Structure 1
Amino acid sequence: MNLLSSISRKLVSDSKRILLTPVETAKEAKYTVRGVREGEIPPHEPLKTVGATLGALLLVLALLFPVYWILQAALSGSGASLYSSNGISLFPDDPTLQPFVWVVGDLIIPTYRISMAVPLSDLAVVFNTPQITFLDASAHGVENPSGFKHFLWNSLTVAIPTVLISMSLVVPASYALSRRKFIFRRKILFLYVLLTQVGGGLGIALLIGLYAIYVQFGFNDSKLALSVYYAATAVPFNTWLLKTYMDGIPVAYEEAAVVDGAPPWRVVWEIILPLSTAGLATVFIFTFLTGWTEFVVAQTLLGTENYTLPVGLYALIGEYSVPWARFSAFALTFATPIMLVYLFAQRYIEGGLSFGGISG
């Protein structure tokens, strides 16, 4: 068993579980109804379950109401304001998808095809790239689409290096601090804890100093330099988190692998990392969100051409007015991947945090 096969099996298992959830729910409801009719289940038991479910549903709806309010603004025809002169309305007066079309812009996918202009014996090959258009923004009244795809590319080219750099440091550091004994180990652990606590208090001073250093060396408009900064800020907390998770893995597993003749790298790759899937998923998501959602440092260091999605969203705010429909559509499109990733990886995050000693 190795890390990649373990992740693949869990992804397949999660997909099957999601697809079979309606079927399992129907089976449980049928079993409950039959149990109540035959007297095996007291009638008040399913009523309590239904009441608790309805209460939880109402609480979730109340928590999601701000998201729905933003969605209503995004679907509004005018989008001039978040408020209505007629009071609160649960549905937009003139619903339209034009703000989302403005955000996404033209969806054109090039398809590559090789055509032979002359006989194959002459080895002359002409390449042409016909395009498939899935969405034509001009057909929906949108003449100047947003730069969402450009901001999206910038965010990806910042977030992905952030994950690669931070994970390359967090994983070996966590394993070393969890399993190896070396000089100054306790002092390094205390330093990690200190670095996770003092960042907020020194944030403004660090930002000023960082900007001065980056400008001096010409890195103030570099996405890679920004990724290095994000990785540096993510390493202390995530190393401590993954280290505490690895502490919960029995040492007997490693000892058995060593007795069987496994070298150290196989012990880490085939024992420690597969058993740390929940912790790794948590660290991966936290580091990715660091590069995906951070705003202040990105706005300070990057130029207009390298703006990430949070900065691009802020750029929509005008001096005297805000295009609320487009602003809301941009914000929802920006937040949707984050919500989907969290919903899919929720149990991994909960497992990583609980075993890491941060539950509650």
Structure 2
Amino acid sequence: MTVSAPTLPAQPAGFEPDRAMRLARETLEIESAALLGLKSRLGESFPQAVQALLTVRGRVVVMGMGKSGHVGRKIAATLASTGTAAMFVHPAEASHGDLGMIKPVDLVLAISNGGESDEITAILPVLKRLGVPLLAMTGKPHSTLARHADIVLDSGVEKEACPLNLAPTASTTAQLALGDALAVALLDARGFRPEDFARSHPGGALGRKLLTHLTDVMRSGDAIPAVLPEASFTQLMREMSVKGLGASAIVDEAGRVLGVFTDGDLRRLIEKGADLRGVKAREVMHPNPRTIHVDALAAEAAQMMEQHRITSVLVVDPDGKLVGAVNSNDLMRAKVI
């Protein structure tokens, strides 16, 4: 059967592909220039802002109207996920009861390009009476918002990327980048580690890698394939087949690991034409196999398997006793790899 190519819609009247491409490049150039300008204007107010955010006893309450509000929600989310307790409060809702969410121990980060948003300026006197520190991010350092603020971060841009110089484009990009700069400086000052990030993102890939321990995924108890050194080759094969790990441990009477026998070992013996009748497990095992401690992360087992090109690993306690086993399929099911 012949499959025909999808039919593209007719080009809209007035649409010029070359013009669209030119405007796209101009937009990126304007926004890149805005960020470089922002970089050159960073002054002593930035470390002051970082210090204020580090020492706040409550939460960072981010506010903004319109597009600045959308940026504010993202900044609040980034702060919260990198170790700084933060939330977004809509300025319009604040005037109708949500101001009760803000406590004197909090700090307000108000974002407004023009610094004259009615919804924000209306609540500034209330914030002052509460004694809440105010950090302003605005493109107008002499605006009403800036005059009321304890610290002002200049997020101004020379012009918007919008051809009409009206739609917030370069200005919101500058706000977003400045918010990221604050978050990065804060997480560095807090000594924020990948493990801390993972605790805020348990559902993500990083969270699974840094929070999943071997005990969460390994086979244990009767599910571990293991035989004694004097076990027959038939018993060894039966243990490997029933447990389905692709390998079996050889342990002493106390359960300490002496060796391992894998599917690969079996294949190599067969290729050599070895007579396996009457053979004992101790005669075919690979002695002193690679093992991993029971307290390790599942990601460490994955790294060991990749580094040494093996598909399974035995898990031992501090005394070298076998307590578990894991293979690549177990790690894949847990989405560690």
Q: Would you tell me which structure has more strand in proportion to its own residues?
A: 2
TM-score (norm 1): 0.20
Q: Give the number of the structure whose alpha-carbon radius of gyration is greater.
A: 2
If asked which structure has higher relative contact order (CA below 8 Å, sep 6+), I would say 1
TM-score (norm 2): 0.21
Q: Would you tell me which structure has more helix in proportion to its own residues?
A: 1
